[in-house]
């Protein structure tokens, strides 16, 4: 079990015990009650915001131990302008990536999603609507959105997506159940390129090359969330792939990493896979 999840479980038990004691023995001083509530709420919020801690759901955040190379992932597409540019750079370098597409955008540009598949890339789900407040929604809303996204992708590619990355990486206590019900594996990341904000291609390249190592999953964007600017990774991608190669880090496929993890996880009936490596900053 990820250490942060164990800590959260322990905090939940302690909070329940505190409440039971308050009910049986009498209310604690207000200051103590406020402190306990603040600590517990802070732990809950960290769990919601920081996917790599895997407080609420198992998630792939890096390759299996000993894995070689780096996996490239792209969120928030497809976009008719920027995604084809990303596909061209990847093709020129002879590498493949995993695209976490937004169902609503895939519906508008199915030909780009088909092009991803035709070029050997993996198409995965990044929700249908990319609701920024998704973590505030209950399980029914998650299922509605993800069901819709899965149906859209299946109608385009002919295949059911098995990987999911939550919008802005936020999760909540309902997510594990929904993932299990829909047969989805959550994929996080090891190195965020920070290209979803308006950064320079140079800064994005430097950041990825600084932190990527064997087993890293790199998070980039082939489109901005609202399609209103080109993420810096698009212009940086050629240098990133060349820089990784120069450092002896080949770009590899996420599917190759997940296969042995899945086979290992099958014995325990785990709905998804977990890696326990601590990611760099």
76 binds Zn ion (CB under 5 A): yes
- Stretch of residues binding Zn ion (CB under 5 A), selected from 73-81, 115-123, 212-220, 242-250: 73-81
Q: Which two tokens stand for residue 129?
A: 């609507």
Strands (E) in the chain, as ranges, are 59-60, 70-75, 98-101, 122-125, 163-164, 185-187, 191-192, 216-221
CB nearer Zn ion, residue 103 or residue 201: 103
Q: Contact region for Zn ion (CB under 5 A) — 68-76, 138-146, 180-188, 272-280?
A: 68-76
Assigned token pair, 203: 């800064």
Residue placing its CB nearer to Zn ion in the complex, 63 or 196: 196
Residues 246-275 that bind Zn ion (CB under 5 A): none
DSSP E strand stretches across 190-229:
191-192, 216-221
For the CB of residue 166, give the shortest distance to Zn ion in the complex, in Å.
Answer: 9
Q: Is the peptide bond before 223 cis (omega within 30 degrees of 0)?
A: no
> Closest Cα partner for 98 from 178, 40, 163, 143?
163
Given the residues 75, 79, 145, 222, select the one marked as catalytic: 75
The interface region with Zn ion, picked from 61-69, 70-78, 209-217, 240-248 by CB under 5 A, is 70-78
222 among known catalytic residues = no
Residue with tokens 């308006």: 198
The answer to whether residues 163 and 179 touch, using CB atoms and an 8 Å cutoff, is no
SS3 187: strand
75 lines the binding site for Zn ion (CB under 5 A) = yes
130 as an active site residue: the answer is no
Tokens standing for residue 136:
């505030």
User: In the complex, what is the shortest distance from the CB of residue 190 to Zn ion, in angstroms, rounded to a whole number?
Assistant: 17
- Least Å distance, CB 75 to Zn ion, is 4
Least distance from Zn ion to the Cβ atom of residue 106, Å = 13
Judged by the rule CB under 5 A, the positions of this chain that interact with Zn ion are 75-76
Give the residue numbers annotated as catalytic, written as ranges.
75, 221
């Amino acid at each position: 079990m990820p250490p942060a999840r164990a800590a959260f479980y322990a905090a939940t038990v302690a909070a329940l015990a505190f409440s039971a004691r308050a009910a049986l023995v009498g209310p604690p001083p207000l200051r103590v009650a406020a402190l306990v509530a603040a600590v517990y709420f802070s732990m809950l919020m960290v769990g919601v915001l920081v996917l790599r801690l895997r407080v609420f759901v198992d998630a792939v955040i890096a390759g299996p131990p000993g894995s070689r190379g780096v996996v490239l992932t792209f969120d928030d597409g497809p976009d008719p302008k920027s995604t084809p540019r990303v596909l061209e750079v990847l093709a020129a370098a002879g590498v493949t990536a995993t695209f976490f597409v937004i169902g609503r955008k895939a519906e508008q540009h199915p030909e780009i999603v088909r092009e991803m598949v035709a070029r050997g890339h993996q198409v995965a789900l990044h929700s249908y609507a990319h609701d920024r407040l998704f973590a505030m929604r209950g399980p029914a809303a998650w299922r509605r959105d993800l069901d819709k996204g899965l149906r859209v992708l299946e109608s385009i590619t002919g295949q059911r997506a098995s990987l999911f990355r939550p919008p802005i990486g936020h999760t909540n206590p309902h997510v594990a159940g929904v993932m299990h019900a829909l047969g989805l594996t959550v994929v996080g990341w090891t190195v965020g390129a920070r290209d979803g904000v308006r950064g320079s291609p140079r800064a994005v390249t430097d950041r990825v090359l600084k932190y990527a190592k064997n087993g890293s999953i790199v998070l980039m964007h082939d489109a901005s969330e609202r399609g209103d600017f080109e993420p810096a990774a698009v212009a940086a991608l050629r240098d990133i792939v060349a820089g990784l190669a120069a450092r002896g880090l080949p770009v590899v496929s996420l599917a190759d990493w997940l296969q042995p993890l899945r086979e290992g996880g099958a014995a325990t009936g785990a709905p998804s896979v977990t890696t326990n490596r601590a990611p760099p900053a």
